[in-house]
Amino acid sequence: MNEELTLTILGGVDKDGVPEAIRFVEVSKGEIVGIVGPTGSGKSTLIDDIEQLAQGDTPAGRTILINGDKPDAMTRVNPRMKLVAQLSQNMHFLADMTVGDFLQMHARSRGKDEGLTKKVIDLANTLTGEPIAAHHPLTVLSGGQSRSLMTADIAVISDSPVVLIDEIENAGIKKQEALELLAGEGKIVVVVTHDPVLALMASRRIVIRNGGMVDIITTSPDEKDVCDRIAEVDNWLMSMRETIRRGDIVEDVA
């Protein structure tokens, strides 16, 4: 994880086959990049191109480079060398095992210390409300708990240096913390979002229209200020939700 890493997107074509206005996007370690655009514009399609390390072989005809080069065939298929991890829109575990067994198995398969299991669970519990325990069966976890566990698992156990997140806003987890956690581990984070806080946490955001990358906006210092202010309102709202969830009375709405 300490080596340098860049991810490059070379533009392809939009839904009409017209070359994309943005031909070249290069992203470095620890950077958060947003993807924004109307419903159906092609945001998930761009995420999928990155996930598959497309080589001009998808409908949009984009090419993804790692450290300026085409990834070799091994990198594209070997799960141990998997460069890209994805947190998808709908996530549920199907495996019939406990949280602890699952994490131990994952740690072993990555050649990591099984003691990391506790670290993952502790981290996941900073992102979610109702705590997850090692003895819980995976299948009883809620959507938010599953997402929190996956986020912590990607941050601690998985070596994948690129993390793709499709619409985390409705996942019922502390989304800012989750994003900061992943970027803080030196990962490249690409996040599809309509959430102003998440979009402005990104250093840049790619604008998608009609299947094509039409613009790339660098977050200005003014926007960063706005982001901090919205985050305050957001956190206040979140604590209000927590109060309601706990079954407590909301007293101060000053």
Ligand X SMILES: Nc1ncnc2c1ncn2[C@@H]1O[C@H](COP(=O)(O)OP(=O)(O)OP(=O)(O)O)[C@@H](O)[C@H]1O
* Residue 193 touching ligand X (CB under 6 A): no
State the binding string over 13-52 for ligand X (x if CB under 6 A, else -). xxx---------------------x-xxxxxxx-------
User: What is the 3-state secondary structure of the chain?
Assistant: CCCCCEEEEECCECCCCCECCCCEEEEECCCEEEEECCCCCCHHHHHHHHHCCCECCCCCCCEEEECCECCCHHHHHCHHHCCEEEECCCCCCCCCCEHHHHHHHHHHHCCCCCCHHHHHHHHHHHHCCCCCCCCCEHHHCCHHHHHHHHHHHHHHCCCCCEEEEECCCCCCCCHHHHHHHHHHCCCEEEEECCCHHHHHHCCEEEEEECCEEEEEEECCHHHHHHHHHHHHHHHHHHHHHHHHHHCCCCCCCC
Residue 41 contact, options Mg ion, ligand X, none, Cβ 5-8 Å cut-off depending on partner type:
ligand X
Query: Does the footprint of ligand X cover residue 218 (CB under 6 A)?
Result: no
Q: Looking at beta carbons only, is 12 or 161 nearer to ligand X?
A: 12
Residue 86 engages Mg ion in binding (rule: CB under 5 A): no
Q: Provide, rounded to whole angstroms, the least separation between the CB of residue 198 and ligand X.
A: 14
158 binds ligand X (CB under 6 A): no
193: contact with Mg ion by CB under 5 A: no
Determine, following the binding rule CB under 5 A, whether residue 44 of this chain makes contact with Mg ion: yes
* Interface residue list for ligand X (CB under 6 A): 13-15, 37, 39-45, 59-60, 211-212
* Interface residue list for Mg ion (CB under 5 A): 44
